[in-house]
Structure 1
Amino acid sequence: MNLKIGSIAILLMVLLACNAEKVEKPYNKGISVTPRPTSIVKGEGVFTLNRKTVFVAESEQISEVITLFAKKLKTSTGYEMDVVNTNPRDNFINVVIETQQLANDEAYKLKVTSKNIEITGSTIKGIFYGLQTLLQLLPAEVESSTLVTDVDWNIPIVDIQDEPRFKYRGLHLDVCRHYVPVEDIKKHLDMMAMFKMNKFHWHLTEDQGWRIEIEKYPLLTQIGSKRIEGEGNEYGGFYTQQEVKEIVAYASDRMIDVIPEIELPGHALAALTAYPEYSCTGGPFKVRNIWGVEPDVYCAGKEETFEFLEDIIDEVVALFPSEYFHIGGDECPKTRWESCMLCQRRMKEEGLKDEHELQSYFVQRIEKVLLAHGKKMIGWDEILEGGLAESAAVMSWRGEDGGIEAATHGHDVVMTPGNWCYLDHFQGDSRVEPVAIGGYTTLEESYSYEPVPEQLKAEMAKHVLGTQGNVWTEYMYTPELIEYRVYPRIIALAEVNWTSKENKNFTDFARRMDNQYVRMDMHDINYHIPLPEGPCNKVVFTNSAKVEFTTTRPVKMVYTLDGSEPTAESAVYEQPFNLSENTEIKIASVLSSGKMSKVRTIVVEKQPFKPAVDVGTKRKGLKEKYTKGDFIYVADLEKVKDWTETASDVNLPPAYTNAQIDEPSAHILSGYIEMPEDGIYEFSTNVDQFFLGGQLLINNDGEVKRFSRNNTTVALKKGKHEVKLIYLNNIIGGWPQAWNGPRIDFRLQGTDEFTKVSQEMYSF
């Protein structure tokens, strides 16, 4: 009975699949292989994948690689594709290794006819990449994690020859500032494989957290993996050695090498919190809960420090079969070494003229340890100081100069300059995008990067191994936000690495990305969609308002003006709005797949000029009352009973810019601000709350206030207006308010630049 019911169910599924309406989606039209292959010759017609299609493999090694792809195809198409060792008459995918035809070990050829497909690679890597291209020739739904019945599994007739331009095609991921779960790392590895990237640079240790289990030193994870955030909660997480092995194996199946990074001699506070005896001062320490660089580093004068690091390296190299081992080597303050008797004695004994040469000594000792393990050392470009052994490679991050110097002296280099390769930068307007560390790098800018500087000619140019996208996670608080920063810019860098300079074309890349977005949807990747930019969230006018929107790259925008939520079918934005009545604009970007960005809501409000107040004031600056204590939200001030009041001439800033991070406080400032003329003003501030004329104008309560993201406009008459500022000197999201201090900026409508409110504008 059960068998009969099961057979009927299968038959119904087949009938439904056959009868489902199959309409080619706009994003599936044309060829969208990314990165763009070396050569594509398109023919007429298609090869149709069906239940009888089989793979043909000449060896067990090829069969193992095919299995990964066959499993994916079964999930989305429902086809159980067998692997056989002899060619049938037709309807097969023949996969062969041919070492004589292809010189590059990652090269492949892919030929599709109406009757069969042939994939030829010089090695198993070439086979793997040929199969990835085959998947990209299929509709994007092939990446679905569930059965898809409404598409035809057609592959266009093509003849492709392909090989990568560079052999190092990398993604860096910092898991120390914010931990990334194993399953989310696997998502990144899946994306890397899809776009033919082959190096995963895993940043495992930092001042803010130690993330890898070391069995000989258990306190590294018991203590060093945890920090107490400024908000008061404990943050932690680390990878067991078994989890590391799991990730390395998962990556290896996808032709990706995992390169570990163990930071030294700086960025070591998490380790020193667990084992303070390897510092210059002996501690005690706390795992750093703010971003930035920590002055406490490994002591270069103690032999025990090197024994400690050698023990760690012994365990780490056993977990990672990669050719390279990353030692960091960047941003190492020398202040502790300057006052450490042991470090100074080391310098004298070794004949080192300064602390920079002491760092070089430190790095070169570790390099010898790595060479003994058969590893090549790689580090950030600071390791160039003092000279390097021939085997060492350099990652050039402070611009391209370090890479040029390294290549000139015969060292291999990976080019990772911030202007193009730092994926922690904003990719849109900082006022509408989630808070970031700073910088501004659009998708087109990442795509435009040329890894070989003009200064490097012929033999020197060959030392450029490639480039990688760097993902520093200070302001990436969740795995979803990491994805939002990384994608699609890492795909642009994937094409930079793979595709020849002559074959690159951003317009064509943007077209192909319409298809790739859908593939990422199938993997639940939270990629960036350009937001409508232009006005702040409240636009004030006195007679009429012109409201205009732009995006960082071409994308359709849809909107409503009646307060309803826009959909992909809503009115398309084509020209600026000219408004004379109160209006609520809701606007979003929409891709060809119908997927939308977050909706922006802009309130457009007609208001009269707010009159100035006729009041006499005697002093410049603002009145202040303050209290010591750790306050995260403005509501926390309700419990304060003891305030200290003062009347001074201090202004904002620099009144509190030197406040101690470890001495949190709250400040309420009040008085008047004098505006120079009648006008509509846009205000920007990093204080928690800004009141004007008794009304809350800007509310940043509880946010990371590194950048102002809640600007607003108001119509003001010339003269004095009552103001109140509430400023909490606290730490939220790793950002200490004390680093910037409170400030108010303004600009008159029609001007581009903001002006800081001056001392003379405040009075009380």
Structure 2
Amino acid sequence: MPRRPTLIRLALVVAGSFVAACSPTTATRPAASVAAPPPAPAVPPLSLIPQVASLQRAPGSFVLRSGDTLGVPDGDRAAAGAAQWLAERARASRGLALPLATGGDVAAVRFVRDGSVAAAEGYRLVIAPGGVQIRARTDAGLFYGAVTLWQVLTSVPAGAPLPALAIDDAPRFAWRGLMLDSVRHMQTPEEIRTLIEQMAEHKLNVLHWHLTDDQGWRIPIKRYPELTRIGAWRIPPHAGHDGEPKRYGGFYTQAQIRALVAYAAARHITVVPEIDLPGHATAAVASYPRLGVTGKRPKVSVDWGVNTTLYNPSPATVRVMEHVLDEVMALFPSHYIHLGGDEAVKDQWQASPAVQAERRRLGLASDDALQSWFMNQLGSYLGAHGRRMIGWDEILEGGVPGDAVVMSWRGSKGAVEAAGKGHDVILSPAPDLYFDQLQSDRADETTGRIPVKSLADIYAFEPVPKQLDAAGVAHVLGAQANVWTEHMPSFAHVEHAVFPRLDALAEVDWTPVVRRDWHDFLARLPAQLARYRAAGIAYADSAFAPDIAVDADAALASGRTRVTLSNQAKYGTLRYTLDGSAPDAHASVYTAPFEVGLPVTVRAAAYAADGSVLGAPRSRVIDRVALLTRGTTALANCPGNPFRLRVQPLPDVTSLSPVYELPLFNRCQQWADAPLDGIHGLHVVLQRLPNNYALAHDAKLVVQRPHATPFGELVVHLDRCDGEVLNQWTLPDPSRAPRTLTFNAAITPPPGRHTLCFALTAPNDGPLYVFDRVQLLDAVR
């Protein structure tokens, strides 16, 4: 006598497509398991990320217990792999032991091949009082069904019943990608496996692996061993001092690469390698100068940005790169191979008589056409071996080689142009899907590019450009986010940048537009954050961190101020304390702005509806000193170029803090409306940074101010950056001075509020200076 109704009974109470998914087979268990399940909540919350295409609830529930079996068809290795993944995740997250069983129909969870599931990666998941079925036509579909079942399992408390339901699901896009840059900073194979596992749990299916660039060559090529013996290593600025390594680099062995590719493939993730050319070639040319234009051996670059070293576009270089691709293809079975094509500044080609003679011999009208010819040689070589080239959108400029796929990174314009010409495209625009953009402008955010791309910004991204007609839409393969690691020297930086924005990306790539809802997504996140904590993922809580805002004018004038609490996502219950204690679930609930007397320390945290904390508490000290101080992130750029970066003191140190904001093109910052009543002095702290930025043609945008002393000055202007000079200090010889510089001076400013402009006149070919903090003083220290 079965202890639960059969799956067919559930089919009688749900609609249409649900019926086809159900089986008349009864699931039984050993007699020792026959205890009545606890009552299920009416509608338990389900943290399914990405949101599924269709979900129908049904009466009843099912309790999955240790000892229950996972049934797979005889000889179906892919089904067994999906079941084994589920068993491992269930053990790790819920302590359940779920053995695999082959053949027969008696199992608590059955994996079933079903030709009626039309989508290539689609699946049907049915949870009924009599058991669970995962049905799919393909290997990937069975795996994604297992992922969704695990998400259901971890959406309810441990031991609680799973709600009866039917899910019919399939992805919106075929390409659901994440790019990892392992050149600027490397990750260990174990760290990359961590990232791959999380991608699998989010149903992403492409890891684009950036392996060569100016700053290193990370893939061993047996025929050309110098690529890693020389090209894999660089000497950092300040090598061996203040936490900088004496040399930075390394490479992945071919065995490690094969193991990572296999690990990803078991989770239905394809690893697509990128070998960047004809630009971003410094490490390769440092290894084999004959690959370059000048014949000289450069150093492996320590400079972020656009280096100008190019490959020599000669038949001899083409042959070498074909040999390289032979070994790349042997390591990576991916149909796609990425050949870069971006940021190839043509200065070296234009200055080379030999290159220009080769261009004319080929009958090419421009250097852009020469790049297209060079890449087409290699794209055709890939095609002859059953592979297909991908290139960044610059490959449009000289004519897209062959049937290359265009990855649009300079906005979506490249995708529109390429799709209009009949080429497949992948949307990966900057800054929209660049995970090296900051997640918030909070002072406690770590390194990255500005402007901010928040969790909400990623969620709002639409991969299909509005300009495309139906034919163009058919060429959109999907979207991917990029993790460029110039400012991510450790895996902790990568985790902070990627999670939880990966959840938003997954939903952009997988979920139908009509099923995407920001508020529903936020409601599903607390359980996902719990999964991250269980897996040891150091995710960013930037979206939920409390912002503690005050009325500075009132505080300085009266010693009292109005405090307003908020967070970026506008989600959760904010709780706060004023006695210095950490806020907990019993702390005061914020409902409206409140008044406090100075000095005071406000501490706050956001809580989800289930009582779980959404992030670490934040605090703000409110007193006169704090109100008269501006840190590095609170000083604005002076008029001109708005570009700025948030950087560490040295490029390769691995701590998450301190950080400094660097206005790279105009080394000048200002404090607008500074309260100068009663102010008689200034305290300024500068940090000296290495000038390791390659700007190529953008170097002309860097402002150079006249300097009266050899190493420049720090000048404080009133009201405008060409206004009255309140004071100035001479910058010391950087070879003899500490990296942290402190300046104090008396000033006699007019009363009221005025803008203070802090301009640096240091020579552009010297080190960079950034502001640690500026403090207004009642008296000179």
TM tier relative to shorter chain: 0.7 to 0.9
Rounded to whole Å, the distance in 2 between the matches of 1:755 and 1:249 is: 62
Cα distance, 1:413–1:116 mapped onto 2, change above 3 Å: same
Cα distance, 1:272 vs structure 2: 1.5
Cα distance, 1:395 vs structure 2: 0.6
Cα distance, 1:127–1:338 mapped onto 2, change above 3 Å: same
Q: Secondary structure at the match of 1:377?
A: strand
For 2:23, the equivalent position in structure 1 comes to: none
1:273 aligns with 2:286: yes
The residue correspondences of 1:524-535 to structure 2 (distance < 5 A) are 524-530=536-542, 531-533=545-547, 535=549
For 2:473, the equivalent position in structure 1 comes to: 461
1:44 aligns with 2:56: no
Cα distance, 1:726–1:71 mapped onto 2, change above 3 Å: closer
Q: Secondary structure at the match of 1:549?
A: strand
Cα distance, 1:334 vs structure 2: 0.6
1:98 aligns with 2:114: yes
Cα distance, 1:444–1:317 mapped onto 2, change above 3 Å: same
Q: Secondary structure at the match of 2:184?
A: coil
Cα distance, 1:595 vs structure 2: 4.0
Cα distance, 1:369–1:732 mapped onto 2, change above 3 Å: closer
For 1:452, the equivalent position in structure 2 comes to: 464
Cα distance, 1:64 vs structure 2: 3.2
Rounded to whole Å, the distance in 2 between the matches of 1:740 and 1:478 is: 34
Cα distance, 1:386–1:730 mapped onto 2, change above 3 Å: closer
Q: Secondary structure at the match of 2:547?
A: coil
Q: 2:726 corresponds to which letter in structure 1?
A: Y
- Match 1:552 to one of 568, 579, 597: 568
Cα distance, 1:593 vs structure 2: 6.1
5+ residue gaps, structure 1, are 1-17, 142-149, 611-683, 690-697, 744-753
1:156 aligns with 2:168: no
Q: 1:164 corresponds to which letter in structure 2?
A: P
Rounded to whole Å, the distance in 1 between the matches of 2:213 and 2:525 is: 35
- Match 1:257 to one of 270, 281, 292: 270
Which segment is superposed worse, 386-395 or 175-184?
Answer: 386-395
The residue correspondences of 1:173-212 to structure 2 (distance < 5 A) are 173-212=180-219
Whether the aligned pair in 2 keeps the contact of 1:688 and 1:726 (CA below 8 Å) is: no
Rounded to whole Å, the distance in 2 between the matches of 1:686 and 1:133 is: 38
- Match 2:677 to one of 717, 722, 747: 717
1:72 aligns with 2:85: no
1:309 aligns with 2:321: yes
Whether the aligned pair in 2 keeps the contact of 1:542 and 1:608 (CA below 8 Å) is: no
Cα distance, 1:178–1:564 mapped onto 2, change above 3 Å: same
For 2:731, the equivalent position in structure 1 comes to: none
Cα distance, 1:741 vs structure 2: 8.7
Rounded to whole Å, the distance in 2 between the matches of 1:197 and 1:688 is: 31
Rounded to whole Å, the distance in 1 between the matches of 2:151 and 2:280 is: 41
Q: Secondary structure at the match of 1:429?
A: coil
Could you give the per-residue CA deviations for residues 381-437 of structure 1, whole angstroms, max 9, x where no partner exists? Answer: 111122224421011111111001111111111111124311111121153311212
1:168 aligns with 2:185: no
The residue correspondences of 1:221-370 to structure 2 (distance < 5 A) are 221-232=228-239, 233-300=246-313, 302-370=314-382
Could you give the per-residue CA deviations for residues 660-707 of structure 1, whole angstroms, max 9, x where no partner exists? Answer: xxxxxxxxxxxxxxxxxxxxxxxx999999xxxxxxxx9969999999
For 1:650, the equivalent position in structure 2 comes to: none
Which segment is superposed worse, 705-714 or 289-298?
Answer: 705-714
Cα distance, 1:441 vs structure 2: 1.2
Cα distance, 1:502–1:470 mapped onto 2, change above 3 Å: same
Whether the aligned pair in 1 keeps the contact of 2:449 and 2:646 (CA below 8 Å) is: no
The residue correspondences of 1:694-713 to structure 2 (distance < 5 A) are none
Paired positions, count:
640
Cα distance, 1:127 vs structure 2: 0.6
Could you give the per-residue CA deviations for residues 537-565 of structure 1, whole angstroms, max 9, x where no partner exists? Answer: 99955543233332110233333322334
Question: Percent identity between the aligned chains?
Answer: 34
Q: Secondary structure at the match of 2:508?
A: helix
Rounded to whole Å, the distance in 2 between the matches of 1:500 and 1:382 is: 30
- Match 2:125 to one of 95, 101, 110: 110
5+ residue gaps, structure 2, are 1-32, 240-245, 629-643, 650-657, 696-701, 708-717, 729-781
Q: Secondary structure at the match of 2:724?
A: helix
Whether the aligned pair in 2 keeps the contact of 1:542 and 1:715 (CA below 8 Å) is: no
Rounded to whole Å, the distance in 2 between the matches of 1:561 and 1:23 is: 43
Q: Secondary structure at the match of 1:263?
A: strand
For 2:140, the equivalent position in structure 1 comes to: 125
Whether the aligned pair in 2 keeps the contact of 1:395 and 1:413 (CA below 8 Å) is: yes
Q: Secondary structure at the match of 2:398?
A: coil
Q: 1:602 corresponds to which letter in structure 2?
A: R
Rounded to whole Å, the distance in 1 between the matches of 2:421 and 2:562 is: 57
Cα distance, 1:687–1:86 mapped onto 2, change above 3 Å: closer
For 1:435, the equivalent position in structure 2 comes to: 447
1:604 aligns with 2:643: no
For 1:388, the equivalent position in structure 2 comes to: 400
Rounded to whole Å, the distance in 1 between the matches of 2:623 and 2:574 is: 22
- Match 1:503 to one of 500, 515, 518: 515
Q: Secondary structure at the match of 1:45?
A: strand
Rounded to whole Å, the distance in 2 between the matches of 1:269 and 1:68 is: 42
Cα distance, 1:336–1:732 mapped onto 2, change above 3 Å: closer
Rounded to whole Å, the distance in 1 between the matches of 2:264 and 2:647 is: 45
Rounded to whole Å, the distance in 1 between the matches of 2:406 and 2:627 is: 59
Rounded to whole Å, the distance in 2 between the matches of 1:373 and 1:755 is: 65
Cα distance, 1:442 vs structure 2: 1.4
The residue correspondences of 1:480-499 to structure 2 (distance < 5 A) are 480-499=492-511
Rounded to whole Å, the distance in 1 between the matches of 2:118 and 2:548 is: 51
Cα distance, 1:600 vs structure 2: 3.4
- Match 1:730 to one of 673, 678, 690: 690
Could you give the per-residue CA deviations for residues 41-95 of structure 1, whole angstroms, max 9, x where no partner exists? Answer: 1112211111342122113242233122223323444443233334456x62121
Cα distance, 1:542–1:728 mapped onto 2, change above 3 Å: farther
Q: 1:83 corresponds to which letter in structure 2?
A: L
Whether the aligned pair in 1 keeps the contact of 2:82 and 2:146 (CA below 8 Å) is: no
Cα distance, 1:724 vs structure 2: 5.8
Rounded to whole Å, the distance in 1 between the matches of 2:47 and 2:290 is: 56
Cα distance, 1:325–1:569 mapped onto 2, change above 3 Å: farther
**TM-score where L is the length of structure 2:** 0.75
Q: 1:198 corresponds to which letter in structure 2?
A: N
Cα distance, 1:438 vs structure 2: 1.6
Rounded to whole Å, the distance in 1 between the matches of 2:48 and 2:648 is: 48
Cα distance, 1:167 vs structure 2: 0.6
Rounded to whole Å, the distance in 2 between the matches of 1:262 and 1:154 is: 49
Q: 1:604 corresponds to which letter in structure 2?
A: I
Rounded to whole Å, the distance in 2 between the matches of 1:236 and 1:71 is: 34
Whether the aligned pair in 2 keeps the contact of 1:581 and 1:605 (CA below 8 Å) is: yes
